[in-house]
Structure 1
Amino acid sequence: MAAAAEVWTRPLLLLLGLVAAAGAFYVPGVAPINFHQNDPVEIKAVKLTSSRTQLPYEYYSLPFCQPSKITYKAENLGEVLRGDRIVNTPFEVLMNSEKKCEVLCPQPPAGPPPPAQPAQPTTLSRAQSRLVAERIHEDYYVHLIADNLPVATRLELYSARGPGGGPPDADPGPARRKDKDIQFEHGYRLGFVDGSKFYLHNHLAFILYYHREDVEENQEPTYRVVRFEVVPQSIRLDELKTDEKKSCILPDAANSAPQEIDPAKENQLFFTYSVHWEESDIKWASRWDTYLTMSDVQIHWFSIINSVVVVFFLSGILSMIIIRTLRKDIANYNKEDDIEDTMEESGWKLVHGDVFRPPRYPMILSSLLGSGIQLFCMILIVIFVAMLGMLSPSSRGALMTTACFLFMFMGVFGGFSAGRLYRTLKGHRWKKGALCTATLYPGVVFGICFVLNCFIWGKHSSGAVPFPTLAALLCMWFGISLPLVYLGYYFGFRKQPYDNPVRTNQIPRQIPEQRWYMNRLVGVLMAGILPFGAMFIELFFIFSAIWENQFYYLFGFLFLVFLILVVSCSQISIVMVYFQLCAEDYRWWWRIFLVSGGSAFYVLIYAVFYFVNKLDIVEFVPSLLYFGYTALMVLSFWLLTGTVGFYAAYVFVRKIYGAVKID
């Protein structure tokens, strides 16, 4: 998931990040594939990724062995946006059939080779050698899939590698492959660096696990693939020997030298692989558990408990304000005597004639809030559907495809809310307002993404969105989202505006001088810290999933934290607008929108901290991509939280002024 290709999707991914599925779920209707003995199990390549560059590349951008015919899989929108380029490979794997050593390329001629003819090595040109060494230095990982399962490397196996750069033996044995406390990393390392030398993993020891399905008597047994592991090894093979079955014979990895790649000259090497099968008790429905249990669930529960404590703290403050202070204020205001003394005690009633005065730039405000509603609806539906297991990682690209289409279709709700609010704010140019709603936020996102995409194009990365996909996204924007926004805006503008409980005076009331703590910047810092504290632990896992090639699947936790974030933003915005009105400052429309989105400022600070302390990005283009994505994420997060806080404060203001008697 972490690829520069996600230039269009990472802001969505960062927003869609916080929830837990207690078990593994699969998309309804996805059927398992049953294999019989010696049935071919196709190994496909997805891409090359690196957390240091954030630029994915196609598998055959490096001089790997190629099959006689290269066939790319037809990909959905989400896969294209992620930078996946799924292609076939020359690995020949048969169900439950062992292979000790097979040479990949060059491809042998038709028919059996002569018995005495040794295998010929592959020659890498100087340019190819330099490119391979560069990719090894940049810490690239290779991602393969078998039966839609991604390949994984056991960390303890990888850390126990011998002098050849891999584990001491290709088959570590059952004693070392325990199911307890096993950690994996996605894909396998292209190679490793030792001082100034570069070594390539030229031998792949595949370990595939299968589950034997129950069948009736006299029927051929069926198998299902439930895990796909690889042990990458670097073994220098000056000459390959073969046995009577024409299979190659590997030397002892512990006593052989690793395969060095000298970027200054041509290199000759062999690409080989082996296949080992093991039976497993894991059933097909639970086969993704191994890949998804990469993070400590207890930490997620700690995050939830921490968030709940924050919400209870805010609820206590609100209870003190509403139950004690506010009810006392309303009771005193409704008395017919001692009105002047009451007005001196509290000032929020004094601004009743100005509290609903339309703010400056009502069209822009309503347009931003409409985009916020559009984002809110999209995120809520996506997280809820993902929590039910319908957008699991097994359905590759489904999360991004669903998010993109839902954002387009939610334009009708964003347009409706923006149109009705614009009319409430005494707006008259509804057509211009609808155009502003449909183009302001999406236009900013598209513009930044297009600029970033040009840099990715310059790097020849598979993460660059192809022109046909770019045209399709533009067609979706102008053909689906914009008409739906216009439709919703039209009906929202025609609908009765929100009924404010008090009339607005013709002459604005003078605003007294405000204390320092009522400054807008101070308000942003104060209002943002508590909602951010309710979700910052989960934010770490989201950043890891986005920038470090990890899976994120805990959408149950994410749904809970999303609800907590909504509640905390609503509560803090009510507190802030109450303090502002008590200070006799009735200009709350824009202020509360900015202040309630203050947690986005802390997200920006955390993103900078994560970049400095967790990532090893030093080049210009990856840094530009990171901060470009971060800017989009912060903007989207500000719109989301600001919209939630604004509508919570608006409901609160209408309620309190509707509860008092106004002369």
Structure 2
Amino acid sequence: MEVGRPQLIPPWISLCFFFSLCFFSKVHSFYLPGVAPQDFKQGDPLKVKVNKLTSTKTQLPYSFYSLPYCKPDHIVDSAENLGEVLRGDRIENSVFEFRMREQETCKVACRIVLDAKAAKEFKEKIDDEYRVNMILDNLPLVMPIKRPDLDSIVYQHGFHVGLKGQYAGSKEEKFFIHNHLAFTVKFHKDEQTDAARIVGFEVKPFSVKHEYDGKWKENTQLKTCDVNAKRTVTSSDSPQEVEDKKEIIFTYDVKFEESDIKWASRWDSYLLMADDQIHWFSIVNSLMIVLFLSGMVAMIMLRTLYRDISKYNQLETQEEAQEETGWKLVHGDVFRAPTNSDLLCVYIGTGVQFLCMTLVTMIFAALGFLSPSNRGGLMTAMLLLWAFMGVFAGYASARLYKMFKGSDWKKITLWTAFMFPGTVFAIFFVLNAIIWGEKSSGAVPFGTMFALVFLWFGISVPLVFVGSYVGFKKPAIEEPVKTNKIPRQIPEQAWYMNPLFSILTGGILPFGAVFIELFFILTSIWLNQFYYIFGFLFIVFVILIVTCAEITIVLCYFQLCSEDYLWWWRSYLTAGSSALYLFLYAAFYFFTKLEITKLVSGILYFGYMLIASYAFFVMTGTIGFYACFWFTRLIYSSVKID
């Protein structure tokens, strides 16, 4: 059958690509939050912004003003990039007014009287351990906590809305709100210009039942504030209970401290929240074990293959050739097209797209372009790179499709462009509908959802067509040996060569290469901690690639030696099965490390981890396939075939 030449790419592909870039750049800014240093002189206003309320128990973020906190006259949303919106960030202005290097003592933010609805909302957020997040000069607010076991200070992201417990001998559990905030702004001063840069933003929250004489007025003096004390209020004061018709007065202090920390190093304390020694030791330990196993496997494979090839090439007589055994016997069937070859081409193309996206993202992150100071930068970069890497997806699937003697390149291109993204988008749409039903700020707005669809249809799909067109136009990949017309019968296999057993066994080692790093990744995602060691993550990623390739080659070699030539799908599934262990580990992490009790939160967790595992399956499977593809072409082109 003659393979047809591809027709020219339709003009609508180019038009979609151009207009989508224009539309997407208008809907969502590509910028990453400002990281340039800003100098402040004494008395300059400092803008404190409020961000979402977060909880590790529910994993559902809410906007700050979803609770009846003090509101400014006009609420202004800050410009957010795509990654921030998808993370549920809602950055808005606040009533907290600071002046550079000017202390404030017990300044009243506002006074409110709770109704039944407001009291219920506060109690629900306190019960679910929600935290308030704020931002000053692109630095997130942290609360210093002293750890007696380590004799050091760690920083908690944000502060809790309140706390619950018994008070004054009462056996009934009550809810108390943190209504007084003692802010500490650390700055580094330039001696020559007298300007300063902000290098730290900390808080200590208190629950205080403020008292005053007479009726409340705008300038009423609070009796519970001691302006001469180091701290205007203390935790020993009567806490502010949350109940219907209760009056709550929100106040705050501002203290400025000069620091030796330079602006370039101000994120160091934020990024050292975890136990670094354990982190580093675990990664290095895993690195050494995997490198040792990989080296041993590679040595065995090289020695065994060298002996096989030497033996086959020394067979001179016909009788010796007839008595040969092993992988040379299946040379006439090893490159026979597999069943469901179209589906395999689609998965290979998608895997190449993910592999390229992950590799480029990690390189940028390791170089410092996607540090935690760039809020949403990592997710924005991943989505844009995924769209632009569609050209490699189309190219890879078309090249393989043409090798399998396929002719309808447009069909395989459409499948590559829509199958995996369509599946993920369907799951994401359902999860987003659930979040929307909970009225969470984590729900993706309609405009952003429309922009994501445009990113998919207007940029990714046209680029997949471009790559497929270029790939199909090239000559087909030549096979090193001819394929027989009649398939060879596969002999009965030993129990350990059972496809299911070998596939599940093959996924253990790749998963073992990443599971320690996976713990820290899951912690950063679901426990709201920063992840920043991208250099080590890149090393682990390289180890994952090497491990997937080597374990798949070893099992493929054993399979061919037992005269089973159906290696195409098995090579993909062998490395891809590590995704099954990833999902099982995610379930283990859910039940042992997280305190999620709500059904909705559990559905969200397993839904997102299912998407992550599916992507991991596609990527690792592609690595295993290409490793075996290169291996089989190498060994069958190295022996004499009569």
- Higher relative contact order structure (alpha carbons within 8 Å, sequence separation ≥ 6): 1
- Equivalent residue for 2:130? 140
Distance 1:183 1:249 in 2: 33
Conservation of the 8 A alpha-carbon contact between 1:307 and 1:535: no
Shift of 1:319: 1.3
Tell me which moved more, 188-197 or 52-61.
188-197
Residue 338 and residue 152 in structure 1: after superposition, are their counterparts in 2 closer, same or farther (change >3 A)? farther
Distance 1:189 1:240 in 2: 30
Shift of 1:414: 1.0
Conservation of the 8 A alpha-carbon contact between 2:576 and 2:616: yes
Match of 1:203 among 180, 196, 200: 180
Residue 352 and residue 458 in structure 1: after superposition, are their counterparts in 2 closer, same or farther (change >3 A)? same
Shift of 1:336: 3.1
> Which letter maps to 2:409?
W
Does residue 62 (structure 1) correspond to residue 43 (structure 2)? The answer is no
Shift of 1:576: 1.1
| 1:318-329 equivalent positions in 2, closer than 5 A | 318-323=298-303, 325-329=304-308
Distance 2:143 2:38 in 1: 24
Distance 2:58 2:43 in 1: 40
**Equivalent position SS for 1:611:** helix
> Which letter maps to 2:47?
E
Shift of 1:244: 14
Distance 1:244 1:585 in 2: 85
**Equivalent position SS for 2:329:** coil
**Equivalent position SS for 1:122:** strand
Does residue 299 (structure 1) correspond to residue 278 (structure 2)? The answer is yes
- Equivalent residue for 1:194? 165
> Which letter maps to 2:160?
R
**Equivalent position SS for 2:152:** coil
Does residue 229 (structure 1) correspond to residue 219 (structure 2)? The answer is no
Shift of 1:245: 9.2
Residue 338 and residue 207 in structure 1: after superposition, are their counterparts in 2 closer, same or farther (change >3 A)? farther
- Equivalent residue for 2:11? none
Distance 1:342 1:41 in 2: 84
Distance 1:422 1:388 in 2: 37
- Equivalent residue for 2:229? none
Conservation of the 8 A alpha-carbon contact between 1:102 and 1:247: no
Tell me which moved more, 231-240 or 491-500.
231-240
- Equivalent residue for 2:44? 39
Distance 1:366 1:521 in 2: 22
Conservation of the 8 A alpha-carbon contact between 2:112 and 2:249: yes
Shift of 1:345: 6.3
Shift of 1:505: 0.4
Segments of structure 2 that go 5 or more residues without pairing to the other structure are: 1-30, 167-172, 226-232
Match of 2:596 among 617, 620, 635: 617
Shift of 1:600: 1.0
| 1:59-458 equivalent positions in 2, closer than 5 A | 59-105=64-110, 121-156=111-146, 181-194=152-165, 196-215=173-192, 221-239=194-212, 248=222, 250-251=224-225, 252-262=233-243, 265-302=244-281, 303-323=283-303, 325-337=304-316, 346-458=325-437
Shift of 1:342: 6.9
Distance 1:225 1:249 in 2: 33
Residue 630 and residue 342 in structure 1: after superposition, are their counterparts in 2 closer, same or farther (change >3 A)? farther
> Which letter maps to 2:123?
A
| 1:514-593 equivalent positions in 2, closer than 5 A | 514-593=493-572
Residue 337 and residue 447 in structure 1: after superposition, are their counterparts in 2 closer, same or farther (change >3 A)? same
**Equivalent position SS for 1:42:** strand
- What TM-score comes out, normalization by structure 1 length? 0.87
Shift of 1:307: 2.3
Shift of 1:661: 0.4
Distance 2:491 2:400 in 1: 28
Shift of 1:399: 1.1
Segments of structure 1 that go 5 or more residues without pairing to the other structure are: 1-25, 106-120, 161-178
Conservation of the 8 A alpha-carbon contact between 2:240 and 2:248: yes
Shift of 1:343: 6.7
Distance 2:338 2:580 in 1: 24
Query: Identity, % of aligned pairs?
Result: 50
Shift of 1:30: 3.7
Distance 2:51 2:211 in 1: 30
1:259-302 residue CA offsets vs partner (Å, 9 max, x unmatched): 1113xx33211111111110000000110111111223333333
Residue 590 and residue 96 in structure 1: after superposition, are their counterparts in 2 closer, same or farther (change >3 A)? same
- Equivalent residue for 1:52? 57
Conservation of the 8 A alpha-carbon contact between 2:559 and 2:567: yes
1:499-519 residue CA offsets vs partner (Å, 9 max, x unmatched): 211010000000111111112
CA RMSD for the aligned pairs? 2.2
**Equivalent position SS for 1:261:** coil
Residue 582 and residue 34 in structure 1: after superposition, are their counterparts in 2 closer, same or farther (change >3 A)? same
Shift of 1:553: 1.0
1:122-167 residue CA offsets vs partner (Å, 9 max, x unmatched): 101100100110010011011100011000011229x99xxxxxxx
> Which letter maps to 1:183?
V
> Which letter maps to 2:234?
A
Q: How many residues align?
A: 597
- What TM-score comes out, normalization by structure 2 length? 0.90
- Equivalent residue for 2:609? 630
- Equivalent residue for 1:4? none
> Which letter maps to 1:65?
C
